[in-house]
Structure 1
């Protein structure tokens, strides 16, 4: 069952805004974790087909994804679909020398993974498997919550906001959000560094926000 859409707290960047974001993260993470395994599998299948259609439409060859964690919409089915289509898949890993930034490494069936400091699985560091963010065609973007204008809220680390900060001026990598329907809220309290999404895919909808950018 989808949670009631949270209301936007109008305020300046302050303790009140921070508390609002914290409340949204808590409610939405709880909602997506409450989904059963059959529901998760069904929703992932639906959303993966929709995402593959969009990736194919723009003829993307290099696509970054993430490995599912904390009740997120599952990505493994989509990864397998991309492999079957001969599309290169990349995963993020925490940058070892530049705090708050990500590296992207090739991901295949033989890639060795390890858990990082956030308890998230990522490829072992191998510079021969690395790709620069501007060489990616699409970044399938994780998030905690989104609203009707394409605003995105992550976990608060800013990793994807830094990665995607200049995407609009370069035209790539094109970010597409990937989330459960229950992760939508009425409006998000945003900060100046938050990067809005041009598109987002849920199990039931393909949402285009380019008119909001």
Structure 2
């Protein structure tokens, strides 16, 4: 099955599961970060849309724990950068209907929370097909090491995600049932 057919199938499934209210265990998430060897101060998240895992509680709690948080802004030429954001800051709606920060302070996260459509045991991610995160990961990794954490529901797991040379692997995938490393 090709990527676009897989995407359609999983997004439809995600929509059907939307009222089930699956959630990432926040205590487990923060305990995982504490026990990992990574020292992070800056967290890049995303504004959930299209029935994605809601990471806003993670961002809100991170900010309360004095971490700096950020959200992406889609720029010209399908480029994306992260900008400082506070949970109570206003947002504007981009051309895709996704809220973005108004801030002009570019930000380089230490940990990047990545939305996904599908994933496999090899930490491969199937996104929406625009390549925004793959391009951003390639760009930021030339500047600094960033830990890439995919957030997904367990039912989004695939036997194998079809990959090409542009696709970037994740470091971890966290679902409501497990943490893949």
Count the aligned residue pairs: 179
Q: How does 1:34-183 map onto structure 2 within 5 Å?
A: 34-37=16-19, 39-40=20-21, 43-46=22-25, 48-56=26-34, 57=36, 58-95=38-75, 98-124=76-102, 126-127=103-104, 129-131=105-107, 133=108, 136-165=109-138, 172-183=145-156
Of structures 1 and 2, the larger Rg is shown by: 1
C-alpha deviation, 1:53, in angstroms = 2.5
Hey, what does 1:25 align to over in structure 2? 7
Task: State the TM-score, normalized to the length of structure 1.
Answer: 0.77
Runs of 4+ in 1 over 4 A off after TM superposition: 166-171
Tell me which protein shows more strand as a share of its residues: 2
Contact 1:44/1:77 (8 A) holds in 2: no
Taking the aligned partners of 1:31 and 1:55, their CA distance within structure 2 comes to: 29
C-alpha deviation, 1:166, in angstroms = 5.6
Taking the aligned partners of 2:144 and 2:178, their CA distance within structure 1 comes to: 24
Q: Deviations 1:135-182 (Å, cap 9, x if unpaired)?
A: x21001111111111111111111100111266676621111111101
Hey, what does 1:12 align to over in structure 2? none
Q: Report the more deviating stretch, 141-150 or 107-116.
A: 107-116
Task: State the TM-score, normalized to the length of structure 2.
Answer: 0.90
Tell me which protein shows more helix as a share of its residues: 1
Taking the aligned partners of 2:73 and 2:139, their CA distance within structure 1 comes to: 20
Taking the aligned partners of 1:36 and 1:102, their CA distance within structure 2 comes to: 27
Contact 1:90/1:105 (8 A) holds in 2: yes
| Structure with more relative contact order (C-alpha pairs < 8 Å, separation 6 or more) | 1
Runs of 5+ unmatched residues, structure 1: 1-8, 10-19, 209-213
Runs of 5+ unmatched residues, structure 2: none
